[in-house]
Amino acid sequence: MTGVLVLAATPIGDVADASPAMVAALVEADVIAAEDTRRLRDLCRRLGVETTARVVSYFDGNEASRVGVLMDALRAGERVVVATDAGMPSVSDPGFRVVQAAIAEGIRVTAVPGPSAVLTALAVSGLPTDRFCFEGFASRKAGERSRALAALAREERTMVFFEAPHRLADFLADARDALGADRPAAVCRELTKTYEEVVRGTLAELAEWATGEVRGEITVVVAGATGPAGSVEDAVAEVLARVEAGERFKSAVAEVAAASGLAKNELYEAALAARKEPR
């Protein structure tokens, strides 16, 4: 008899959101793989849960090396529960590797559904929810982040991102430049917690707001592109016409890119090349 791997969603803020099924999963576990063992024990304390399970650390830094330990427990018929600090394991959190390994060996994988910052932010953002995509954390490196956002300029689905508070201003500024200053968005901070805050506006407005001190867990929701993108040729022509009329090159590129739905970086390179062509 092999065991079962359980992905248990934990509260993203308010401990009252913990489901009876999640509590039962902790009580019934033989092994609990916790992203932070101290937080897991504190959660159990607040829930009044007593567990006899072996609690092992399972975070980004040791996830790969812990898979073998967890798989041994599953092969021995034990019930292994994965619990991250908040939300569903494997969604921008540890869990994916052991899920893959368990599936490869035919071991049952199940989940205890529960709170999700992705869906909660999407629901309260006021942006379209019929089609959306989750982009997780953007790169810490400015160049990679800008290129990734530029590649999403024509994405028509609502986009959901996670971001660290100390990088939020840079992320929103890059999103403004790549997706357009007037693109609607929402910054969701400390969801379900005491100081929950949802700030809605354009990317330009949010980028300016974020230059102040922002704290807590951050989820950003950005509206998808609307309408067909204009042609690069027409956009380049408009940029050059604006420049000849006295407008600054970068400013012209930013405004035309936002209006046409084209990626700012793509239009910048095309317009720059056109300026260099002999007339």
- In a structure prediction context, what are the per-residue pLDDT tens digits for the chain, which is 279 residues long? 789 999 999 999 999 999 999 999 999 999 999 999 999 999 999 999 999 999 999 999 999 999 999 999 999 999 999 999 999 999 999 999 999 999 999 999 999 999 999 999 999 999 999 999 999 999 999 999 999 998 898 899 999 999 999 999 999 999 999 898 999 999 999 999 999 999 999 999 999 999 988 999 999 999 999 865 567 888 898 899 889 888 899 888 888 887 777 778 888 899 988 888 765
Structure tokens at 116: 């999700």
Contact 231, 120 (CB under 8 A): no
Percent of the chain residues topping a pLDDT of 70: 97
pTM for the complete prediction?
Answer: 0.80
> How far is it, in rounded angstroms, from Cα 77 to Cα 270?
60
Per this entry, what is the length of the chain?
279
Burial code (b: 16+ CB inside 10 Å, e: under 16) for 218-255 equals: bbbbbbbbeeeebebeebbebbbebbeeeeeeeebbbb
Q: pLDDT per residue over 116-126, tens digit each? A: 999 999 999 99
- CB-side exposure of 116: number of CA atoms within 13 Å? 18
Of 161, 162, 219, the C-alpha closest to 189 is 219
Of 276, 238, 279, 277, the C-alpha closest to 257 is 238
